[in-house]
Structure 1
């Protein structure tokens, strides 16, 4: 018999699983009068009238909270996931972009988004329990109209671990989602503020309604006003966005693979870096706009959403691949570091090439400037959370369950539990050579650096002829790392005598010039990935008004004559690292919850391993580490040299004795190439040097072309 409690119990510094659990996905069998977890939806009133109907837009929010808190036995702290996908998605993103690429829409003026509307005046109020007793599971769990293979709020079970420990779990998809008003506006202050408003409601500073009409007010009477935000990817981005507003009540964030700057998610130093057909923010905005499936909307209302998304595309097309403050500034969250008032535990996979590791490093640096507490957990995985409830597995973090670590962290910041959370190391990192070994650092910044310098004279010419180089998405890293070709030059060190650990951002400096290419015709663009015609206009000088995205790609590899076991992605999109089960039901969730399988990453046996990479545009010689330095571009002239400073994605990697570093410079990466162009680049071999941050003093190394 489980011993339940009516109030949270903390032992060994963490909340214990002492609350009963009732599944919220049981449909007709869900009985709100007996459920141990109280569930209901509210509609938080925003300050905006994005859709111009004269009323403030409402934001749908799903509340899950232990019954005991709603009954008044204690005040619950909230764990909040702001995830624009959770209320449904439009899975037809690629065909949709083709359908609307040449379609005519009414002109949408972004200034209209700023129209003000008076707040509603509630005609009555309802308590959380009264509202929950009237709620049905179909309010939050039903077929996703935009994706028939999924359910709305499919992340409903992701945080059950915290419910049985007394935390409330709050989920919202924000503006533009089914059940909410407004538009999904990726990387905007509107998107950010939607979730800030939810925090304000939880803190007692904002009105929410029990109904879509906005007439009956409901307060979070069960809330202690303290909120933590967490989630992965898009849901890991919003905690950083909201943290930079300084909103009251947000005590800490645990962003997992979050974006700190939307420009450098889609682009890098003036060049497109993200997956070819998803570089327009309007693609993601449409994908998350489940409001399209609201059957109560009129044709005009649907057309307004579409017109907004089309204008979002047109606004980005003006930028090309360059940074533009008006378009990208609101999503450059790191610039608002001075407003941060909460702590952060940042989690990132070092093999994540969806949300690049540069994002976590920029988050970290912003937090250091803010003076707030920041810790980082870096694992060897791809774009994952260390516990994956939807896939029934988890990995250990230095011998501990990931959710136990987060539990300790948020127990400290939300319930003032005196534990060791703030004594965590500033950096906890899983080593690349032994995934069962974790190392700690007092700071991400290192006191030492190693210089890699070319010993070659003369020049090298590289081109974009994939076929001649025998290169495709499936073999790109292997082809680039193991030999030079017409398409790449590989600069290699001698084998290392002792292990060297790289930590931070590698800075490559070189001089290069456009050698050849049809400038007048935009280097004869091709569409290798069958992108829609609108997206393809990103590289059209007639649209952007300038030469753009003449790529230079830099990569750092670990290579060895003998094959070695290592962890790396195995799919062409670089998003998958398989896991193997170490112990079935080895991740204990506690209480009435089933356990997950304990897993580790599957290794491959190869004589190369990608360490880090970067994308840059020859047209942006001023571009550096900070996203905003990519604002100015030039027109290239054949034979005219420029100096480039390319900053590779942040990394932590140990090169073992007998291994060499290969610094590779190429033109295009077929995996992330929207527009395939025909050009060649001449490189001054003697100019090539790289500054590599390392954890201890080491000698500088010479590199030769191989």
Structure 2
């Protein structure tokens, strides 16, 4: 029988693929007696009793460890992905929201009904990792997802095989409210954070876990060296920052990919709705991730989950699109002083799902805490630079992305002295040539320029040109008159003024201009027209459920009269740029340039190398943002959007709009344009009828540059 006594091997500062691999899916390929990877599930005890059943809630985690570590030949560090989707989803989220909007639910108080005192369990026995693996049922981690049409839950098995064959252990957990776990999926809250924090603490040796759901047989992570690195994309890129913001012992580093630093700024922006209309209520995401519905629940347990989701909707509706205490739990930047680990932050500059402001807020938090932090920015969308589930990756500064992260993890988790902490502070893929990666010593440039605009152009719509005051321009929300829809919004807004927007354009650039950071656009504006008593004749533009649709009016005050602000690169001749191919601006096409370019090792299939497809147009949107006309006091920090005002027609206010963080080089001869418009049909929950006056003499932009 094979010895399974491999030891980690490092070359050029990276862990090498010297460990054998055995597939973890059910079938003839997986036999726990001979598998090179030891697999089992554990149930980590938390501090909460969200269920109110008198017992501390348990959180399920799926563990994969090279057999050599379990046999005691070395201690393995852990790559940990905290991802609520990984245990399954409820794919009927939109229909569910519509079905339950008018339902009747038991009373549920979010401030009272989630915290119940409960004693820690006293295990009756203890079991080893190998014993747990030999007794494990693979159906505990590879099973049909009842909430998603029977599709197999598989991503939590295959995504991190690269690290398994290099001697790392891999742990994934979906947290509270997921299949196999107790509790309730409370999006962005300290409950959600602490569920994943508990897993890290177990790996570090500070918390109790069990090999069985009943909580009788204790199990220790004695194969682990106590060092944990968290990574993952989107939701799985958010939880690393959340857990880090709790000062969690054992969490040595995080590699968040397209992660959220502040949930308010993800859903809203300076008082205005920002995210996709159908997903604006956190209760939608909470239900979507609550795969616990696929467990065998009692009617009482199911009713309690339903009541919780309804209460979560009601609590968010109280605040509308303004900031309030509802959002404080999910503003992880408020706890920057607790950060005690390093971070390698990854984000796509064309990510319209999680805005680029999120990486900047995260970066500033680590800088404030005095922790080592690096930044890699690519020209892609909401993606990871290596996508095992899709079979491709991009080259990052000439290297395979996973090899870069490997060096980082090898240093912080294995203790390899490889100078990983000395990599460039900022590494960014050029928008002029995606084969070029540029470096910067810091994200904050310390230098800015003020844009100066030539005389304003006339509107394409004659009705928008007749103004009584020389510098006052009026825009409205008539999509049809402007000829604007989801598919052409960026193009129409960039290339011409209309009844819905005005452009403010610079003279041609004499030399290349590299923008790096957050652009601020200032102007004075006033509500010009609309019927507040009639709710501005609100229309449900995207057929959202009735509760979600009410978000823009539910606060009981004037709310969500949106202004959209863009910074655009313009040229007389078409030039190559990267554009999304879908109306939601979320998918950028790629082309395979080399098959099998990136080796995984361990006999695993290599990934193809892809590049982003470019199109030639005479415009490119550099960055964008939104602001609510009712929130003139709002600024960069999310909490400044708490104070909305009642607008009076013709009463001007000063606005300071902070666009999403950008890194972009505009070529000589190009012009920069600030575009101020009303509604964005892509992100428009409630289509309202109103008009806005802008004093064009006050429009300016402060642009951070290299």
TM category (shorter chain) comes to over 0.9
Matched with 1:348 is 347
Q: Which residue is equivalent to 1:15?
A: 15
CA contact (8 A) 2:75 2:225 kept: yes
Residue of structure 2 equivalent to 1:433:
432
Q: For 1:676 and 1:82, how far apart are their aligned partners in 2?
A: 36
What secondary structure is seen at the aligned counterpart in 2 of 1:586?
A: strand
Q: Residues of 1 paired with 2:665 and 2:157: CA distance?
A: 39
Specify the alignment match of 1:463 in structure 2: 476
Maintained 8 Å contact 2:528/2:649: yes
Give 1:364's aligned residue: 363
Q: Distance in 2 between matches of 1:576 and 1:606?
A: 18
For 2:147 and 2:615, locate their aligned partners in 1 and report how far apart those are by CA, in whole Å.
37
Residue 547 (str. 1) matches residue 558 (str. 2): yes
Structure 1 contact 4–18 (Cα < 8 Å) conserved: no
| Aligned CA distance change for structure 1 residues 420 and 4 (closer, same or farther; 3 Å) | farther
Aligned residues: 690
Q: Which residue of 1 aligns with 2:61?
A: 61
Deviations 1:402-451 (A, max 9, x none): 00000000110111100020110000000001000000000000121111
Alignment partner, residue 628 of structure 2: 617
Match of 1:571 among 567, 572, 582: 582
User: 1:103-502 counterparts in 2 under 5 A?
Assistant: 103-110=103-110, 111-148=112-149, 150-295=151-296, 297-325=297-325, 327-454=326-453, 456=455, 458-502=471-515
Paired with 1:64 and 1:331, the residues of 2 have a C-alpha distance of 30
The aligned runs of 1:53-92 (5 Å cut-off) are: 53-92=53-92
Give the Cα–Cα distance (whole angstroms) in 2 for the partners of residues 684 and 566 of structure 1. Answer: 32
8 Å Cα contact 1:5/1:19 also seen in 2: no
Q: Is the 8 A contact 1:254 1:347 kept in 2?
A: yes
Secondary structure of the corresponding residue to residue 254 of structure 2: strand
The equivalent position to 1:521 in structure 2, one of 534, 537, 561, is 534
Which residue does the alignment assign to 1:700?
none
Per-residue displacement from partner, 1:473-525 (whole Å, max 9, x unpaired)? 00000010000000000111122121100000000111000000001122110
Check the 8 A contact 2:22/2:29 in 1, yes or no. Answer: no
Residue 507 of structure 1: aligned partner: 520
Q: How far 1:693 sits from its partner (Å)?
A: 0.3
What root-mean-square deviation, in Å, do the aligned CA atoms of Structure 1 and Structure 2 show?
Answer: 1.2
CA contact (8 A) 1:586 1:598 kept: yes
CA distance in 1, matches of 2:568, 2:10: 46
Contact preservation (8 Å) 1:320, 1:538: yes
Match of 2:547 among 530, 534, 540: 534
Q: Kindly state the Cα deviation for residue 151 of structure 1 after the two structures are TM-superposed.
A: 1.7
Matched residues in 2 for 1:569 and 1:557: separation?
15
CA displacement, residues 291-321 of structure 1 (integer Å, 9 cap, x when unaligned): 01112x1111001001000000000000100
Instruction: Tell me the CA shift for residue 454 of structure 1.
Output: 4.1
Whole-angstrom distance in 1 between the partners of 2:107 and 2:28:
45
The offset of 1:149, in angstroms, is: 5.5
Deviations 1:275-300 (A, max 9, x none): 011010000000000001112x1111
Shift of 1:556: 0.7
Shift of 1:657: 1.3
Distance in structure 1 (CA, Å) of the matches to 2:106 and 2:193: 26
Contact 1:30 1:136 in 2 (8 A): no
CA distance in 1 between counterparts of 2:211 and 2:343 reads: 32
Distance 1:5-1:692 versus aligned 2 partners, 3 A rule: farther
Cα pair 1:79 1:170 within 8 Å, conserved: yes
1:594 maps onto 2:593 in alignment? no
- Does the aligned pair in 2 maintain the 1:572–1:671 contact within 8 Å? yes
Q: Is the 8 A contact 1:32 1:136 kept in 2?
A: no
Q: Distance in 2 between matches of 1:508 and 1:116?
A: 50
Structure-2 separation of matches of 1:47 and 1:423:
38
CA distance in 1, matches of 2:3, 2:704: 52
Compute the displacement of 1:28 (Å): 5.3
Instruction: Report deviation, 1:136.
Output: 2.2
Partners in 2 of 1:662 and 1:118 — Cα distance? 62
Q: C-alpha separation between the residues in 2 aligned to 1:665 and 1:494? A: 18
**Aligned-pair CA distance for 1:3:** 13
CA contact (8 A) 1:28 1:137 kept: no
Q: Tell me the SS of whatever aligns to 2:389.
A: helix
2-side partners of 1:380 and 1:107: how far apart? 47
- Would the alpha carbon gap of residues 58 and 504 (structure 1) be closer, same or farther in structure 2, given more than 3 Å must change? same
Query: Structure 1: which 5+ runs fail to align?
Result: 696-706
Measure how far apart 1:25 and its partner are: 1.4
SS at match of 1:523: helix
Task: Return the alpha-carbon distance in structure 2 between the equivalents of residues 355 and 78 of structure 1.
Answer: 26
Residue 570 of structure 1 deviates from its aligned partner by 1.5
Q: Bigger shift: 141-150 or 521-530?
A: 141-150
Partner SS for 1:86: helix
What secondary structure, in the 3-state scheme, does the structure 2 residue paired with 1:54 have? coil
- Alignment partners' CA distance in 2, 1:520 and 1:82: 46
Q: Structure 2 CA distance, aligned partners of 1:586 and 1:26? A: 29
SS of structure 2 residue aligned to 1:32: coil
The 3-state SS of whatever aligns with 2:318 is: helix
SS in 1 for 2:38: strand
SS of 1:479's partner is: helix
Deviation of 1:29 (Å):
4.2
- Alpha-carbon distance, 1:153 to partner: 4.0
The answer to whether residue 694 in structure 2 is matched with residue 694 in structure 1 is: no
Describe the SS at the equivalent of 2:77. Answer: strand
